[in-house]
Structure 1
């Protein structure tokens, strides 16, 4: 230890000495030597006499350094939504017909050419404001410059003032279409498939638009578990999902450099790394409707101007006509969401449960939340509200270069340091679950009592997720390992000794498996599902017999799951039996469920069922599709819903919908039927109209646990 060494360096040397001993597995002790008082053993290590040199490093610990910004010059183009193209950082890149943005880090210049538009300058200014707000923490200074009015420091950045600024960009200039690649690991090699985001020819023909919109990337193409390379010629972006594997991240960074080396690129091309949630503004601008700079309806803005000139009526009529013409029917032409295979669902379930460190449950009893016994986890009631506090381990994320450098150089902290770091890496999520027939007072009670308590216990690490019955979060469902049971009524309500029937069904993914109590009626049975029937003895509800009914076409894995659910639902006071379809005992089973023995023998609708929502909520008519795990509560009363069951397309009309929505939805329904007729010629659909409250059986059976529509409770 040098004579003038600071305290932080002394501490740093002690820490590294311990780390080195652990790394080498050394059993000797660490010996402290001080300048001018070295031991003979230490001096013997060196052949010559020890000499002291003045100076040293800044610190023994990591220090915060000023951010280094790469100076870039962008040409701004685009009419509706602007985009930026990187050009060489020199004055000859300027063109009087365009707006340019010079980004030096803490000073951003907006240069407007003599023939450039004012609208383009305004949008470029707004773009710079977003860069300053999101990337520079508001510390950057933005300066707007007119051609021939530039200050000297502007030309210093571009390497000197030119004699003349000439037109050099071709009139038919079209920017290079970005290419999106997904980085993947194959069997011993890297995969780099290109993602095609073009609109299909079929889509163009069906929409029947005279002029197709500009093809742009969509944010939905980026999966949080993946790593992507976006090649824009002069800019190569590496996008890293937060849940992506570390090995794929490292491979993507290397591939990004290789793209610039192997393929022809201008000298000013750069590779930029973007972590999910912290993307730079230039990267976002490559995608459609991702934090767009300016969203203005110029027709409506002109309305107020024309009003002063006495032309209000004409402009209003034109605006209404424009709104009527605008429609988004894209969802009708997209393929049906494929079901998730069981192995993939089980893997997701396992990963989410590995991250779960602990879970505590609470249920609303009266006006207070009481702790829920662990044996009741997975049991929910339609008239109750539940709260689950889940603590998750969060993997350490290497967001900056210092941490990556630390990992590459094999920096290993001591055991105490590691334990302390791991304990800090956790997140708490509070799931609030509300039954279909529960009052909203449960949510109000939670926000004013339990939520405040949790926020004080876990400041800055708490997330609240509100859910209603059958619209649960997939991560929440995974914690119950497919044993998610919904009973009718309240948790501690005294139940009459009446038979009860439960339907086990999987919607699109094994993660969405639910066991829901339905009406005790034999017509609710189906040969492709499993059911649980409880038949209590007449004297008491605490004793009786329980059947697991397995349909002849039911999935074998689901049949085994049904037996496991029956065993965890009822204790030994009940006699339990697994019976196959056609082997039902007359005395108890059919007497308990009804003696008609008439029910559906197929569930082909599960292969085709799709639910679409038709709405004017966005200010124009748009069709969107619900996920395959849809439920009865997805039927919005103020909208039109389209349900396809493979044979019929039902147009469901709510009680609060408008006549305009009905007319547009009818047209959309006809377009969809025509599209499906050309796509699936063997199963032509028929159009059916149905009003809320008059749904036929072929409609209701597409929904798990169909019942009376819920009414608002106080």
Structure 2
């Protein structure tokens, strides 16, 4: 058929296919022109990709792109072709509506070096041609750090400004001009774009020159060439506008609408708002999910009629008009059963029937609850980091374990025979040491009891920094809250991990043992088993689980009817660990002796329904960049991410749903490190899926990435950080290959050719040495409201204020000029001594936590 002829380029080979709308027909765009878009045209793009689970089908994504000058007819044709391509591919692709300057992260992720907007279009005779012509003359205005775009602008100095980067492309030569106020990341992205133009469009036959806008006198020959093309440089240039980057913090306002046109008129009815649950979606209907007016999703039910499905995109456009949203609002159309990861994460939970997860785990709706698992094979973890990532395991837990308890705000090592016992009134640090290829690696867990004091939690964070320093800043830090222990944490104790609800194990505090303790045991092997103390009442029982009941003289092991053989075997080992010499009595549900019920205060109803196996949640990992390069702290999502997207000048947030990783780049600044912790907590709090705020947060430093992190990246290169290029290194490399550039008469407005010496004046080679970033105390305590000093504080002069104006005051009540975090420094020497009974110098020599406690005690915090 005609449609099949049009889409004959579609294959099962992963990659990108692009068509342009020319006279209402689809015309393929040559691969070398991918990433170039005429502003007067519309395009259709198909991405074919391989899913992370290799046994799954290929993933198809359809984008139709609307240029800022495209006609209504072309826009309509692009939308129709998108629907036809969707039908051709069996209605499985996700569809995206893209508008120039407001493309989705997914779209921009296809063009890592950036998107180039070209003036004109089909109507003005502009064509996508494959050529190495040296006759090109154009000026590109480069914007953005992550979503890089380059717009063709007038070849005039009036197009320049001091805040951005510009590329003058004259065929055999590409000259990059860096605005004095542009930042390093923008310059690096522009340079990579220049290289891409040289290599992809010119076949490598072009030279690249570089001018620093604040040092033009150091590149006189290059400036002469630029002025020869676009005229004399004016004495001053405008500052330029901001990048207008939207704050990409998690958009939490999510609303679900039901869409119907039963009587010929589109009607939209609000169904629910955050939190959304999957059961709200009816297979017979279509829905709109509105994410705060920033992005719309159209969900098409499997049983919805064909007319409704085909009209989905037009309905979205009409909805945008009704709501008064910008024309550029992103729209994504998803199909029932083929939803995108971005769509799924808007829901509190998302389950996929018959999905196989990890190593042999299969969930089947309608069957009883127990998961059958293949034997855990630790040998695969380091040779197959993707398995380590899926299993959340760096190894099998057989490494060296050191446990400390926070006691009097200091570290007290826990005896080996007490490893695995955790009390809800305590905080613990656990250092785990394991070897890979003869090199020691470290994990540092911070376990925070539910009933621990704020001082102990603060001291635990402080002591974590101390231990981190002692081990060369190499440990990966993992924050674990009571009851949310990750799998590897349990594996360290080999099936013998016990969590007591309250109390403490400190020898200095004698706590009377309760006469009866009741434990719920969960787990099927030594890698995932723990016992959790529950109230010693019959209502705590559950027919699907195994319980241990302990009194001073007896020990009962209770098997629920729905428990599996593996669970019972692990619970038997646990009861021996808990009993410490007591002879256990094993009983099946329904065969309990009277003493069992007496210890629980009598028999009462408890959960006894068969628990159906819940389908595993299906959430793809998401990567975000945390940066304050623009002067404002911004979180930006990165689509189609790879290891190359980890920016060493920033902090990156990797969300794998049941864990959140914070990757600290070696050149990240203090503000980014401090704000990232707060942002991570805020990200979880405001997530539209109503995430658990106690989700484990894992801190990782560049160069010390464990396989549980690297496994989420395809083809991770462990040597990258010793060979990756910074902006200055790339600049130096380009300087080597462009020492002399010949500019012919066809490249300039002058008639005579000339030889231009390109003086890049590269800095001495800035080799990158692996060094971990010390996570300062302030960066960890910042969310708690604590501040630490900096080098600048040493030279700061604090204006004196009387004690009565500083003590027991909120920050808003303090006099103007007082630093709320350092109010004690505003005291006179005499008043300071009368309050703290020591001098300011003596006070400054105290440990940070002692300073904080003393300030709180005296009302100066």
* TMscore range, shorter length: 0.3 to 0.5
TM-score (norm: length of structure 1): 0.41
TM-score (norm: length of structure 2): 0.35
Q: Point out the structure with max Rg over C-alpha.
A: 1
